[in-house]
Amino acid sequence: MEKKKEFYLEILHEDKNSHARYGILHTPHGDVEVPMFMPVGTLATVKTMSPEEVKKCGSGVILANTYHLHLRPGEDIVAKAGGVQKFMNYKGPMLTDSGGFQVFSLAENRNITEEGVTFKSHLNGDKIFFSPEVVIGIEEKIGADIIMSFDECIPYPASYDYAKDSTLRTLRWAKRGLDAKTRDDQALFGIVQGGDYEDLRKMCAEELVKMDFDGYSIGGTSIGEPKDKCFEMIDYAIPYLPKDKPRYLMGVGSLDYILEGIGKGIDMMDCVLPTRIARHGTLMTHHGRINIKKECFKEDFTPLDDMCDCYTCKNYTKAYLRHLYVSGEQFGARLLSIHNTRFLISIVEGAREAIKEDRFNEYKDEILKMYGDSRGF
């Protein structure tokens, strides 16, 4: 198929002691290695960072938000610019979500029906209607390489009956979105839902695979459920997803979740975590988590992380970074965001090398032991 030449996953090595795998994801805007951590650029920008800075951190795919770009500046403007890559000047592949997470996060301001979801805009109160067909139309205008099916991110906890009804509707929406898709140069992913119910996750995965999507996401995780529940939900879905297509775990950004996902066979992960916590002064380092606003860093003229190769650690001291943060200087948020973004990407780069050498489990244990507080935030 012609589409295969534009977008496909090439698995080059599978770790002998886990389900982790290394490969190349081929896209219309370039080839990227997996597994990968994807920085989030909600409004076609990774907060405080330039696209060039994100790229220098080793990014492959950047994620943008369909709901928010629909509100500002509008998909028609992005399309007139030549698509989201040209609009924001990012030289690499991009992905757009579908607004399914906003069905969860904006629960007080939305109404779900079989036809779709009516939102009340958080900006001005205007009514916004998203259906599977509307969402695909918006995503096609935005023009990312990878687009997501419209779904409901099921809240946790949810009753079995609620989860079942929602999952069946998500499957119907997935088929409608697939039928509405017109562009052959975009890869459409189906999203596995089902809450924390094993049979629903299995059913959803199997039905999506029958529809033959270009890739598959595992949704409804990392939304407040216990860690073991999140890992169970991954386990409930992965065995039923094809090995020759990418697997994307949505909304995961802490070290333990990232490494656990990779070990289970996940190829792609995203989260706002590295830049969000950076703006609050929290840094992930090879020596554990630190908060730069602490008094102990006032006269600390050493690098933030002596094991990190990012621009921040090569050029600035903890004392200066603390000064910027406590002074409210935006340059501080930028430098801290660069570090956290590079830190997570470098950890995943190390995971790729470990997979090639069949030592992923050892690498995972080393990283979590070194980091100490493995939550990552």
Cβ-contact 258, 269 below 8 angstroms: yes
Cis geometry, peptide bond prior to residue 35 (ω within 30 degrees of 0) = yes
The question of whether 358 is a catalytic residue gets the answer no
Cβ-contact 65, 72 below 8 angstroms: no
d(CA 345, CA 124): 36
Element (H or E) spanning 52, and its range?
A: helix 51-56
Which among 96, 39, 91 has a CA at the least distance from the CA of 68?
A: 96
d(CA 121, CA 126): 5
The question of whether 165 is a catalytic residue gets the answer no
Catalytic residue among 15, 196, 270, 305: 270
Backbone torsions φ then ψ of 224, nearest 5 degrees:
115, -5
Element (H or E) spanning 274, and its range?
A: helix 273-278
Catalytic residue among 15, 97, 145, 305: 97
Which among 291, 286, 301 has a CA at the least distance from the CA of 350?
A: 286
Catalytic residues: 97, 270
